[in-house]
């Protein structure tokens, strides 16, 4: 048995899945950090692999960009493949001026503008939050690895490009530390479907200062984030 967008058979995906948006990041991590990695999914080139890390079985699955694409994979991973823990490993833009490129963020909660969330809750506002156990473990793992992390709230958006002036000012004012496109729906669906979720993010650009890193760096260079996530898995 497989799902619509994942060709793996039940049992070929581990209970803990790392979920990068970029399928090439999944491929890179599987080939460089996992042992005995086997590719279980090539549908739409959204690569998925299962291997071991320090003897523990773990999978890594690309999810695509945006909450619509991510929601498909989160639903299928939990409902069809009985995944218990999903750890998003991705990039974000910082909206606090003192946050530097390459900084690792642990997303405690995710505000956002998800149309799916609005539909789920009849226009009311749901506080989409990380699983506390995963969050605490990730924080302690980072301390043990001597990797500095920032814990805080992020914003997930459905629109990468827009014409709204000073769009992020209100969110910066209220302490939001970063912006990305997946975590709000991940946190909502994990709670809805009975799994645990956490987003571990690397700052790829700073929207306030204008600093930005390149595409190749976003694909391969963020090893601190991956070390935390793999130890957590």
Choosing from 22, 131, 205, 224, the catalytic residue is 205
What is the C-alpha to C-alpha distance for residues 96 and 19, in angstroms, rounded to an integer?
A: 25
The answer to whether residue 205 is catalytic is yes
Domains of the chain from N-terminus onward: 16-232 (3.40.50.1580)
pTM: 0.96
Give pLDDT tens digits for 74-120: 999 999 999 999 999 999 999 999 999 999 999 999 999 988 888 99
Q: Are 228 and 145 in contact (CB under 8 A)?
A: yes
78 half-sphere exposure, CB direction, 13 A CA radius? 22
Residue with tokens 């898995």: 233
Phi and psi at 138, nearest 5°, equal: -65, -40
Closest CA to 147 of 55, 233, 222: 222
Give, in degrees to the nearest 5, the angle at Cα 32 between 190 and 92. 45
Give pLDDT tens digits for 131-148: 999 999 999 999 999 999
From residue 84, alpha-carbon distances to 40, 190, 195 in Å are 18, 9, 5
């Amino acid at each position: 048995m497989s799902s619509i967008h994942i060709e793996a058979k039940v049992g070929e995906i581990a209970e803990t899945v790392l979920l990068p948006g970029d399928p090439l990041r999944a491929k890179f991590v599987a080939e460089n950090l996992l042992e005995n990695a086997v590719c279980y999914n090539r549908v739409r080139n959204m690569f998925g692999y299962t291997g071991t890390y320090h003897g523990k079985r773990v999978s890594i699955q690309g999810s695509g960009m945006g909450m619509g694409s991510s929601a498909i994979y989160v639903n299928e991973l939990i409902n069809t493949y009985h995944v218990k823990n999903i750890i998003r490993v991705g990039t974000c833009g910082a909206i606090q001026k003192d946050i530097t490129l390459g900084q690792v963020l642990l997303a405690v909660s995710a505000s956002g503008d998800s149309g799916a969330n609005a539909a789920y809750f009849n226009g009311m506002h749901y506080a989409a939050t990380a699983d506390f156990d995963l969050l605490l473990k990730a924080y302690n793992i980072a301390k043990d690895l001597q990797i500095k992390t920032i814990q805080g709230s992020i914003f997930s958006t459905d629109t990468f490009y827009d014409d709204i002036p000073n769009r992020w000012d209100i969110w910066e004012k209220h302490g939001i530390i970063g912006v990305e496109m997946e975590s709000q729906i991940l946190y909502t669906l994990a709670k809805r479907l009975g799994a645990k979720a956490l987003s571990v993010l690397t700052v790829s650009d700073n929207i306030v200062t204008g600093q930005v890193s390149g595409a190749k760096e976003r694909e391969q260079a963020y090893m601190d984030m991956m070390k935390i996530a793999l130890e957590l898995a």
